[in-house]
Structure 1
Amino acid sequence: MTATAPDQDIALAGILRAQHGVISWRQARRRLTGSAVNHRVVSGRWQRVHLGVYLAYPGQVTRIQRWWIASLAVGNGRPALLAGLTALRLHGLRLPEAAEPVHLLLPAHRTDRDPPPGVVVHRTRRLSRADARLDMSPPCTTAARSMVDAAQWAFDDTTAVSIVAATFQQRLVVLDQVRTVLGTSRRLRRRPVIESAVADAGGGSESAYEIEFLRLCRLAGLPRPSRQSVRRDRSGRRRYRDVYFDPWRVQVEIDGSQHMETRGWYADMRSGNEIAISGVRLLRFPGWAVRHRPGEVIADVRAALEAAGWHGPSLSAGSGSATASHDGRVPHRTRPILPG
């Protein structure tokens, strides 16, 4: 039984509504004749935005419409999965806006004939139904798979760690989900960096700077601190410590750029006074120092711990602790094991 014209109109409207006004030639031809599609383009009702892809409205293309155009173009009329950082943004990841490509993931056996400008197509031999969120618009990979892919496709290690930290911080993934993805990924670029970042972020670190600080502590042989532990101030309000060495009552706060603003600066002073009154040794470092002056940061933390009674390994050669190089950096060593 063939569909009537009203039925066709309803079905077509449903597709356009679900896909934010974007439709492929293949999808349109299921409901319209070829001449009817061409008439819509010639009359200006539709605009052709890519080979075989149309936008059913005049005007500028929005970001989500750009994602749909890329998805349908790369999928040859059927949606391909958004992936990596693009998929994370669709999942709700909040990062500073930047000019970045649209990332799509295709099974290795499929080909893309003509991706739009600004689109990067990645191929994989490992893409299961469990990795996909077909209920999202456009369809995309899961947040955990998207985070791992975004980290391995990142420009450098620092960006990869930042993506992992932000994804955990914004509660888009949990550790078990990421473990599953890592466990099924045999070939993974920068695996040691990603596993280290996941181990720290999954354990409670709230920023890329905190993750880097914990890595430095491990390499320097310092005791393992707790992260984001809770304390009560004099008014009974809950406060969170970035890093806390509990037995020695040494607290470390790692400040991002927001702490340089006048209001934040004074609030931090008051908070620091509160901590000092409680008898805790407080150290503060800007994030850039953790990244660019790690030797100085670790030296201060070690001195504070020793002043508080900690007796750790010596810094003599061959002791097994990491020492800072001449440029102040602490070298990488073996990768950590994800917490069990």
Structure 2
Amino acid sequence: MVDAASWARTDDQARAVVAAAFQQRLVAIRGVEEVLGRLTRIPRRRLITQTARDAAGGAHSLAEIDLGRLCHAHGLPQPARQVVRRDASGRRRYLDARYEQWGVHIDIDGSQHFDPRHAWADMRRQNDLWINGDRVLRFPTWAVRHSPAAVAAQLRAALLSAGWRPSLEDLGKKRPS
């Protein structure tokens, strides 16, 4: 995985390789850090290290990694990632990101979510959450990457509405316009 990421054509391709390896449970952070400790001069070493740490923290896609960075940049708390829950029929489901304390969920939709069957499954899952009183925010991958201020504004509004109050440290962070 480290070699493939260092040889990738672009940084995004390198990040995708790392995220996919963690998503498929092919690697663990300790092993990756051990390899990176031996390979001190590989291309993209810093990028691979940061992406591996993000992925080990629960982010399973580039968009989920981008969401974590967006939250940090905009003074928002970090959500839990890939939270396991049971749906109405008892099956295990994973939420992309969740703020348990405030009942706010974030779904990041890639292109597969626009297939009608996949969209209907997403809607049913979202309805189950809404029925229980939780807030669900959905963003396309594109918006997380290319319109982070708009995503952050909606996320901030949902968190504030749910009772979150920023700390003094959060208020001091610069928010891009």
TM-score (norm 2): 0.90
In 2, are the aligned partners of 1:315 and 1:323 still within 8 Å (CA)?
no
**Residue 209 of structure 1: aligned partner:** 63
The DSSP-based 3-state class of the residue aligned with 1:289 is helix
**Residue 246 of structure 1: aligned partner:** 100
- Matched letter for residue 215 of structure 1: R
Aligned partners of 2:3, 2:123: CA distance in 1, in Å?
40
Shift of 1:233: 2.0
1:226-241 paired onto structure 2 within 5 Å: 226-241=80-95
Q: Which has the larger radius of gyration?
A: 1
Higher helix share: 2
Shift of 1:314: 7.3
Aligned partners of 1:275, 1:284: CA distance in 2, in Å?
13
- Matched letter for residue 166 of structure 1: A
In 2, are the aligned partners of 1:221 and 1:313 still within 8 Å (CA)?
no
The DSSP-based 3-state class of the residue aligned with 2:9 is coil
The DSSP-based 3-state class of the residue aligned with 1:187 is coil
* Alignment gaps of 5+ in structure 1: 1-146, 326-340
Can you list the C-alpha shifts for 1:159-210, whole angstroms capped at 9, x where unaligned? 2211111111122211111010122232243333222211111122221111
RMSD, matched Cα: 2.0
The DSSP-based 3-state class of the residue aligned with 2:81 is strand
Aligned partners of 1:213, 1:154: CA distance in 2, in Å?
23
Can you list the C-alpha shifts for 1:28-87, whole angstroms capped at 9, x where unaligned? xxxxxxxxxxxxxxxxxxxxxxxxxxxxxxxxxxxxxxxxxxxxxxxxxxxxxxxxxxxx
Matched, 1:306 2:155: no
Shift of 1:153: 2.6
Query: In the alignment, which of 180, 191, 201 is matched to residue 34 of structure 2?
Result: 180
Which is bigger in relative contact order (C-alpha 8 A, separation at least 6)?
2
Aligned partners of 1:165, 1:237: CA distance in 2, in Å?
25
Matched, 1:160 2:14: yes
TM-score (norm 1): 0.49
* TM-aligned CA distance change 1:322 to 1:229, over 3 Å: same
In 1, are the aligned partners of 2:75 and 2:175 still within 8 Å (CA)?
no
1:84-99 paired onto structure 2 within 5 Å: none
Aligned partners of 1:263, 1:244: CA distance in 2, in Å?
24
What percentage of aligned pairs have identical amino acids?
A: 51
* Alignment gaps of 5+ in structure 2: none
Shift of 1:238: 1.6
Aligned partners of 2:34, 2:80: CA distance in 1, in Å?
25
* TM-aligned CA distance change 1:303 to 1:315, over 3 Å: farther
